Amino acid sequence: MNHPSSAIDYLYVDNLSWLRQLIYRRMGCNELAADLAQDTFLRLLRKPQEFDSQEGIRAWLSRVAQGLCVDHWRHQEVERTWLETLAAQPEDHALSAEQQAILVETIYELDSMLSRLPEKIMRTFLLSQLHGKTYREISSEMGISERTVKNYMAKAMSLCLRVQLELETSQ
């Protein structure tokens, strides 16, 4: 398929209602489907793709849209879990809406990085970075050598860096 300058306009008009319908079937909300379809095309604008057929276009759009749907669910799940956690606390936290939003987003990002790490590596990384434990403390708590702790830390950071890069190149 030949794509002249206005190719993306044509592609947009050609596929918008199809894509909305596809997302709607997954999410069951028209407004959300419209938003996510828009985001899908935004990805395409930011990172133009070459397509050789209509099937290719739709395969790409539906794959990206699927990813956005999953992200959306995950965001909601993170927010819900965060609010549940807060609600279980007796004391008043007095976090502003903005602070809440930043925290939810941060936890979402942490969760998507951490979920890619093998369990032991993730625990090591969290004990160090979140709980501020020293390598020695982690070593005795996990029953591994300090050398291994350091190893795990490098591994964890290396994997997180890859996730971070994927994140930045996919947007």
Least distance to other proteins, CB of residue 64, Å: 17
Least distance to other proteins, CB of residue 36, Å: 17
Tokens found for residue 122: 């993730």
User: Given the complex with other proteins, which of 25 and 48 has the nearer CB atom?
Assistant: 25
Least distance to other proteins, CB of residue 125, Å: 10
The torsion defined by the Cα of 112, 25, 16 and 41, in degrees rounded to 10, comes to: 0
User: Given the complex with other proteins, which of 35 and 109 has the nearer CB atom?
Assistant: 109
Least distance to other proteins, CB of residue 20, Å: 10
Which burial class, exposed, middle or buried, applies to 33 when counting CB atoms under 10 A from its CB (0-12, 13-18, 19+)?
Answer: buried
Q: Compute the distance between CA of residue 23 and CA of residue 47 in angstroms, rounded to an integer.
A: 21
Question: Could you write out the DSSP letters of every residue in 67-95?
Answer: HHHHHHHHHHHHHHHHHHHHHT-SS----
User: Given the complex with other proteins, which of 119 and 143 has the nearer CB atom?
Assistant: 119
Contact 40, 61 (CB under 8 A): yes
The end-to-end CA distance of the chain, in Å, is 25
Least distance to other proteins, CB of residue 91, Å: 11
Write out the residues near other proteins by the rule CB under 8 A: 10, 13-14, 17-18, 21, 25, 54-55, 77-78, 81-82, 84-86, 88-89, 95, 99, 102-103, 106-107, 109-111, 113-115, 126, 128-132, 134-136, 146, 149-151, 153-155, 157-158, 160-162, 164-165, 169
User: Given the complex with other proteins, which of 29 and 154 has the nearer CB atom?
Assistant: 154
